[in-house]
Amino acid sequence: MIKGFAHICFIVSDLERSVKFYRDVLGFKEAFDFTDEKRGKFGAYLHINNRCFIEMFKGELKPRAEGQPYGHFCLEVNEIEKTVTELRKKGLDVTEVKLGSDQSYQAWLADPDGNRIELHEYTEKSRQNIHLK
């Protein structure tokens, strides 16, 4: 029935700034834009990998709805220390790498609108391994 993660959608305050962040800093590829005659370009779809995407629409940022559980999204990386170093060279504030309770390495950053992003590197002892094989 459910095949896997498809995309996450963000409302962003500055569409071009967000596209540049996800494309130029994190390395995602532009897939397509949402446009119409009235608004011009009002959204963008970026390809992460395989069948995973980020969808963004230009709009007014509003506080999360009461009870909305979204807190962050997570990107799997290899060589997390190297990834953190590269992102810091690009001017991003990235936390130190630590080993999480799931036995995976993690570090944290945010996009231009403050959406939290977790970087995740699996280890031999990661609890997720039972599902990754």
Domains and CATH numbers, the chain: 1-60 (3.10.180.10), 71-133 (3.10.180.10)
Indicate the pLDDT class of residue 122, thresholds 50, 70 and 90: confident
pLDDT at 79: 93
**CA-wise closest residue to 15 among 40, 47, 44, 45:** 44
> Residue 57 — left, alpha, or beta (φ > 0 → left; ψ -120 to 50 → alpha)?
beta
**CA-wise closest residue to 16 among 101, 113, 92:** 113
* Higher-pLDDT residue of 63, 120: 120
Dump pLDDT digits (tens) for 64-107: 666 655 678 889 898 999 999 999 999 999 999 999 988 889 99
What secondary structure does DSSP assign to 11-72, as a single string?
EES-HHHHHHIIIIIT-PEEEEEEEETTTEEEEEEEEEETTEEEEEEE----PPPTT-----
Dump pLDDT digits (tens) for 1-12: 556 777 898 889
Q: Which of 30-34, 46-50, 128-132 has the lowest mean pLDDT?
A: 128-132
pLDDT at 60: 80
* Higher-pLDDT residue of 126, 89: 89
**Computed from CA positions of residues 70, 74, 21, 51, in that sequence, does the dihedral angle turn out positive or negative?**
negative
Give the separation between CA 113 and CA 32, rounded to whole angstroms: 21
Dump pLDDT digits (tens) for 10-27: 889 999 999 999 999 999
Retrieve residue 14's tokens: 């500055």
Identify the burial level of 57 via C-beta atoms within 10 angstroms of its C-beta, where 0-12 means exposed, 13-18 middle and 19 or more buried: middle
**119 touches 80 (CB < 8 A):** yes
pLDDT at 43: 92
Give the separation between CA 115 and CA 119, rounded to whole angstroms: 13
